Amino acid sequence: MSAQPYRSVLYIPGSNARALEKAATLECDAIIFDLEDAVAVTEKSNARDQLVDVLKTRDYGARARIVRVNALDTEWGRPDLLALSQALREGAMIDAVLIPKVNAPADLDKVGDLLADVPLWAMMETAQGVLNAASIAAHPRVGGFVMGTNDLAKELGSRDRPDRLPMQAGLGWCVLAAKANGRIVIDGVYNAFRDEAGLAGECEQGRDMGFDGKTAIHPAQLEVCNRAFAPSDAEITLAQRQIAAYDAAQQSGQGVAVLDGKIVENLHIVTARRILARAKAIAARN
C-alpha cells in the first residue's frame, strides 16, 4: 500500500473541456485523462491536441496526472504516444501513461520504445492480461495497475453481481501480482454513479482486498472513495495503541505484546506504521 494517496482516481474524457477545467478543483487524488474509450472516434485527434495543451499549461496541484492512451494496435495509439513524448520534452507534467488492454510484458516494451522517462501503468482488463499479471507487474517500467472491470466482464461473459463474485479471481490475482512487485493497484469503476450506497459497498470490498483506491467516472463518487480508502479514526487510534503497547513490551524484554486480547507482533507494527503514514499523507493533502 503506497503512502502517496490514490484513494480516488477520476476518469476525464480528454475531449471534455469543461470537465478538464473542473478537475483542477475536484477532491480526487489522481486524474486519468482519457484518450481511449471515453472519446468518440471523430474526436480522437482534437482530444489529443486539447489534452497536450492542458498538460503543458494547467495546474492540477497535488493530483497525480495519468494519461490513458489508445492501444498501439489502433490507428490512434502511435500518434498518442508520439504526442505525449513531445509534450514531455516541452515540459508537460505527466506522472504516468496508462496503457489499455495489456496482455503481456511485450506490449509494454513496444510502448516503452516510443515513450521514455515516464512510468507506465497497465489496464488489467483482458483474460490474457490477468493471467499474465505477475510478469506484467514485474516489468521495470510499470508503476501501477488499473482494473478494467467492464472490459473484463465483457470478455468473460460474466454477470454483474453486487458481490462481484465473478470478478473475484481476477481482482485478487491482480492485487497479489501488484503487491508482490511493490506496485499501486486501483479498483475498477462503479457504473451506477448516482448510487452512493452501492458504491460505498464496492469501495469497502476493494479496500478490504488491498486495493489502494478506486477509479471514478463522476465527481459525485469522489467523497465516497476518499472516505473508504482513508484509514478511519478507529484504525488510527488502534495503530497508535499497538505501537505504544509493543514499545512497552519491548522495554520490559518481551518480543510480543497483547492488546485487547489480541497478540501484537512486529509485523503488526509494520502495518500500524503504514496506516499512520497514509493518514499523514492524506492529512497533508487536505
Which listed range, 13-21, 99-107, 169-177, 195-203, lies at the site for ligand COA (CB under 6 A)? 13-21
Rounded Cα–Cα distance for residues 8 and 30 (Å): 6
Binding-site string for ligand COA from residue 215 to residue 234, where x marks contact by CB under 6 A and - marks none: --xxx---------------
Of 110-129, which residues contact ligand COA (CB under 6 A)?
A: none
**Using the rule CB under 5 A, is 148 a contact of Mg ion?**
yes
The stretch among 3-11, 85-93, 142-150, 218-226 that binds Mg ion (CB under 5 A) is 142-150
Question: Residue 18, interface with ligand COA (CB under 6 A)?
Answer: yes
Please identify, among the stretches 8-16, 50-58, 108-116, 271-279, the one whose residues bind ligand COA according to the rule CB under 6 A. 8-16
Nearer to ligand COA among residue 23 and residue 67 (C-beta):
23
Binding partner of residue 151 among ligand COA, Mg ion, none, CB cut-off 5 to 8 Å per kind: Mg ion
Q: How far does the chain reach from its first CA to its final CA, in angstroms?
A: 19
Site for ligand COA in 34-53 (CB under 6 A): 34, 37-38
| Interface region with ligand COA, contact rule CB under 6 A, candidates 19-27, 115-123, 125-133, 176-184 | 19-27
Asked if 245 interacts with ligand COA (CB under 6 A), we say no
Query: Could you tell me how many residues of this chain bind Mg ion (CB under 5 A)?
Result: 3
